[in-house]
Structure 1
């Protein structure tokens, strides 16, 4: 199975389906599962429908259109009651008509040729009669009802029989085509008036070997030609003698009548004829299965390729989206850095402007010998020392203006004493440069905060 391109899971399903159905041909099991998308439950239900003679999902509607059937005698194996295996030959005895000498052989050939031309002439005459209106046209109004009536009457008269297909002729043709199986079309007239029909049904079709072979290898559809559905089918396949069994199979992608069994015959003879027709035409079904498998494999492969292509496109699109997200993240980061840089530059520009604007509020430095002056030494965070004299009446705000406007001073700072440590001013509480004057020391004089004569104050950078 691996050579057929099946996965391990699909091979397991083929084996499981074979165990459930008992079908010997693994290729047939595989084909059924492929057509049902590898759904074992659906495939098994369809198999049960066919085995019980019911239409499958392919022909569930009674309005389904029947495929065209090719009825060409050059493509058919024709068997009649006068040929070996027929009931007429059997009644003659073992010696029968088999020629024992040259004269007898010539007579046999002449009789065979005469029978052939007679049957052909009778068919032509029948066709002209029908064309000329000899038979009344029958309108088919309930084809399924005609078939079900035939099955009920047949079951009542002949309890032993193969399984008849419980659907219309069109449904049977469609199912046989979909399942790649042989379809046997059985037609007969009233058995009470046709001894050959009664014998064929009571003995031949009731044979266990015939029942087993037909149920296993074919679909069997039957109808009485007295019904509109049976009459229509009889007209389409040109029946001459009853009972009639016509075997239809897919041949060169067309449903074709490949075998015709006319008249009564023994069970052994019917089995030989059925096997001969099946053997001669099985190659066409095998080729159809191979072609269907190849088409299914090609379609599956194409679907897989399309899926892989779509997944590749999705992966490429996801890569593009991820790449775009990364680019967006980098761009946003760069914009954030740029915004911070601009904000910092703007802040520096604002501080520079404020220093210029606030420089006019810096008090003048008093002379050395002026009473009430205080010498203050400022220790900057850089280690640099600034010395400046202030009047004891100068406020802490004016001291802040001096430090803020000095180029060596930090932008955000606090002013503290050494011991005991006190915070005289802090930008963390209030920034006078921005118009905030709520600090409790901001308007106090140096004398009010306890500074005298010479003091050392520390300037701490709040941004460090």
Structure 2
């Protein structure tokens, strides 16, 4: 049995929990992790700090020595137990050690650059040269004494800090164009690279990371720094770093900037960068607020690829759980929203079908009512026509001329055969019009009724004959439209037939 197995068997539950948390963050073996945790008295935060930053003076020993001294009477410090048995409590403590990632004010892409008139530029050229010499001198002193820029950043007026942004000689561009220029320069210097930099401004990158619940990996480079090129080639573009960045399970977005540009310089000031090259991990921290973006990891100076991957993994691992909860909540909300939309869509479709059916029923009912009204109108018109026709027959029968007596020698004798087979035998005066013969045939039934009451012609009724008189041999049609008297058309006598007039034949003849 190995010593590591003996040590694991002797650990208490709290020590096992601390060891599991430490190994999850650092990926270190138990044989190396247990001694470091023992030196840190099983405090995971102190052990992680020693692992990443190196072991310096023991903070516990310094704390004990400070506790042996009498505390200042004017200070009321709040003590906190460094040991805890709850894994989630450790995570919450680590999450609280974050810095806010504020948004910055950027220049609009279409903002014009002010250029003074030529005369004023010539007048102030000596002052401009002196100012550039002073700035170059301060930059040289800043390289020789690194603490001077930090001191200047803390004490200088923000307006003066912003004025430094335009002394680099680079043309100020909008956020999107600045990001495109950084990517182009990065590709030109380091050729092809597999890092997917976001081609938009820093604020837009923050918004995208907050909206998509992803980690934003901010890379700030200073071309004036001697280690920038080697750090990019050996560390940032190392296969293990690139693989970790491009792994979709890590949910990393990458934004880069050159501090010679205005936007990247403001980002560096906002993140309080004191050493280049610099990288930071920014993520949404829901335990702070619903819109907070915080810096949960910093990588300053030259680091090996393994250290960069370890720090990135630590930042991602320690902040993955809150994001997963939000993702699950959003997924549930989206599922509920989709379910409601599907239900609403199904209800709208059912409602549309019901409306269409109701419309069809209304149209069918309206069509039926129109047909019934039209049929009732036709029936009423037909009944009225029949009444008017019967009244007209009575009236016309009373107005017919009487049959001439035997003393009339040139009377015309006409025999008319009805469709029923009955024959009408009657004499007419020679000058009697053909309409009189048609009226006699039409009103023959009324003429047979001797007791028919007297009546008058119906108002608004236009009588039309629905038959024509025809001579069979040879066939001759005696039409009313031809006019004339009976003697002129028939002669001294004749046998005629009554033929009903078909509407189709009338229509064909009219055409």
Scaled by the length of structure 2, the TM-score of the pair is: 0.54
Distance in 2 between the 1:112 and 1:246 partners?
30
Aligned partner of 1:406 in structure 2 is 444
Instruction: Give the Å deviation of 1:165.
Output: 3.5
Residues 160/326 of structure 1: CA separation in 2 closer, same or farther (3 Å cut): closer
Instruction: Give the Å deviation of 1:130.
Output: 5.6
Deviates more, 1:165-174 or 1:407-416: 407-416
Aligned partner of 1:205 in structure 2 is 236
Q: Counterparts of 1:61-80 in structure 2 under 5 Å?
A: none
Distance in 2 between the 1:245 and 1:161 partners?
17
Residues 155/311 of structure 1: CA separation in 2 closer, same or farther (3 Å cut): closer
Distance in 2 between the 1:376 and 1:160 partners?
121
Distance in 1 between the 2:475 and 2:279 partners?
122
Structure 1 unaligned spans of 5+ = 1-76, 90-96, 99-105, 115-122, 431-435
Q: Secondary structure at the match of 1:445?
A: helix
Aligned partner of 1:444 in structure 2 is 486
Indicate whether 1:137 and 2:161 are aligned. yes
Whether contact under 8 Å (1:79, 1:262) holds in the other structure is no
Distance in 2 between the 1:147 and 1:110 partners?
48
Instruction: Give the Å deviation of 1:247.
Output: 0.8
Residues 185/78 of structure 1: CA separation in 2 closer, same or farther (3 Å cut): farther
Residues 407/223 of structure 1: CA separation in 2 closer, same or farther (3 Å cut): same
Indicate whether 1:282 and 2:320 are aligned. yes
Instruction: Give the Å deviation of 1:275.
Output: 1.6
Residues 273/162 of structure 1: CA separation in 2 closer, same or farther (3 Å cut): farther
Aligned partner of 2:107 in structure 1 is none
Name which of 165, 177, 191 aligns with 2:198: 165
Task: Give the superposed CA RMSD.
Answer: 4.6
Q: Secondary structure at the match of 2:319?
A: helix
Distance in 2 between the 1:150 and 1:202 partners?
16
Whether contact under 8 Å (1:250, 1:284) holds in the other structure is no
Distance in 2 between the 1:406 and 1:284 partners?
109
Name which of 251, 257, 270 aligns with 1:223: 257
Instruction: Give the Å deviation of 1:416.
Output: 3.9
Whether contact under 8 Å (2:393, 2:446) holds in the other structure is no
Aligned partner of 1:17 in structure 2 is none
Instruction: Give the Å deviation of 1:232.
Output: 1.9
Distance in 2 between the 1:147 and 1:397 partners?
107
Whether contact under 8 Å (1:414, 1:460) holds in the other structure is yes
Scaled by the length of structure 1, the TM-score of the pair is: 0.58
Distance in 2 between the 1:113 and 1:234 partners?
37
Distance in 2 between the 1:157 and 1:324 partners?
77
Q: Secondary structure at the match of 1:174?
A: helix
Whether contact under 8 Å (2:431, 2:485) holds in the other structure is no
Distance in 2 between the 1:78 and 1:167 partners?
36
Aligned partner of 2:364 in structure 1 is 326
Instruction: Give the Å deviation of 1:443.
Output: 0.9
Aligned partner of 1:84 in structure 2 is 51
Instruction: Compare relative contact order (CA 8 Å, sep 6+) and give the higher one, 1 or 2.
Output: 1
Indicate whether 1:336 and 2:374 are aligned. yes
Name which of 399, 415, 430 aligns with 2:469: 415
Aligned partner of 1:45 in structure 2 is none
Task: Deviation per CA, 1:400-420: give whole Å up to 9, x if none.
Answer: 2322222369962333456x3
Distance in 1 between the 2:214 and 2:277 partners?
22
Aligned partner of 1:247 in structure 2 is 281
Aligned partner of 1:266 in structure 2 is 304
Aligned partner of 2:455 in structure 1 is none
Residues 137/421 of structure 1: CA separation in 2 closer, same or farther (3 Å cut): same
Distance in 2 between the 1:167 and 1:78 partners?
36
Residues 250/396 of structure 1: CA separation in 2 closer, same or farther (3 Å cut): same
Instruction: Give the Å deviation of 1:319.
Output: 3.0
Residues 222/80 of structure 1: CA separation in 2 closer, same or farther (3 Å cut): farther
Residues 286/188 of structure 1: CA separation in 2 closer, same or farther (3 Å cut): same
Distance in 1 between the 2:61 and 2:190 partners?
39
Instruction: Give the Å deviation of 1:138.
Output: 0.9
